[in-house]
Amino acid sequence: MTIPSEKYANTSESSSKDQVDELLHQAEEAMPYYEDHDADWREFNQIRMQLENMPYAYTFVIAGPDMEKKRLRDIKVDIRSVKGNEYQQFYEYMKANYASVLNRREMCAAACLLENIHQHVKSGIGLCVIKIVLGKYKRISVSDNGGGFYNYKGQKRLPVKDAIKFGRAYGSRYKSLGQALATSFDLWSDFASVETPHDSVIIVPEGMFNKMLRGASRIITGLIAAVGVDLGLIIIKERISLLDVVVMLSVFGIVVKWDQVRSLFGIRSEDRYFPEIRFKIKNQQEFGSVVNVYFCNTKDMKKWRRSSVERLKGILRERAASFRT
């Protein structure tokens, strides 16, 4: 997450990682709204060049598929997304350019975030910065100049909690229905943050308790259905025995639902993901979205995530009143 400059104005021990955060914050603020056709990109370009020279940081810019060609002359674009083969084009780009510094799950998370830019910021850009803090963590930041999360059906702003509902995202106009963000937050990363107009949130993967609740609900649903089937058989076959009812109930409930319940606790989780919002605050942000995904490189991931989340809460509170207002 980016950190306001005031935090480092009088700090002699500012490290390169702090400078990356400061430069990223400046670049996000210098990024014009995508509908501003007369925007001056010179400040953004200068900051972007400084980011490219920072150690342990990797920077690139993605342009949406509908961005005007004449506007591309004002910005150095590393990748322009093309329609079709959406996720794969971004994974292949990350693999070709960053396989030496990112592992597979980190590249998968980045590809999901780039796919989200491709789908929802078609006429704008996304600034991606990979930050590496050796022995501690990696962070992939994607900041765009679009309109933020939006409910196209209801024609209104979209809360983050609705945008990350796998298969039910109200903001999606496509068949994917919000899969990219939910997958990135719940499957690939250790935790994440999102800033979009009105909402600043911290997101963590679904906890075991909630997984157990979902598993229990599926078992109960299966059993209710089995009871209904058995009652129907009792009405049709008056001589059916109690043992037959128990056997049919057990077989139906276990065989039909067992694979689904078991998969809740596997790596793929039926390819359906349900990340949880750990922290939320309202902001004054007017446009664009900033998404950060974090990956732990320490032995005690829980301790690292707990302390990182607490620190991030303070940063989001500071930015809520002033970022892109």
Chosen CATH of 5-206+273-320 out of 3.40.50.720, 3.30.565.10, 1.20.1630.10, 3.10.129.10: 3.30.565.10
- For the chain, what are the domain ranges? 5-206+273-320, 208-270
Report pLDDT for 188.
87
| pLDDT for the residue numbered 307 | 94
Helix spans in 155-300 (H): 160-163, 179-183, 208-236, 242-263
**Per-residue confidence (pLDDT) for residue 229, from 0 to 100:** 62
- Between the CA of residue 311 and those of 3, 15, 268, 306, what are the distances in Å? 11, 17, 30, 9
The rounded distance, in Å, linking the Cα atoms of 158 and 148 is: 8
Question: What is the rounded distance in angstroms from the CA atom of residue 217 to the CA atom of residue 219?
Answer: 5
pLDDT of residue 258: 53
* Residues 33/39, Cβ–Cβ less than 8 Å: yes
List per-residue pLDDT tens for the chain, 325 residues long.
443 333 333 333 345 558 999 999 999 999 999 999 888 999 999 999 999 999 999 999 999 988 888 888 889 999 988 876 678 899 999 999 999 999 999 999 999 999 988 888 889 999 999 999 988 999 999 999 998 887 666 667 778 887 777 555 444 444 445 577 878 887 889 999 999 999 999 999 877 676 677 666 666 766 676 666 666 666 666 666 666 666 566 655 655 555 555 555 554 444 567 788 999 999 999 999 999 999 999 989 999 999 999 999 999 999 999 999 8
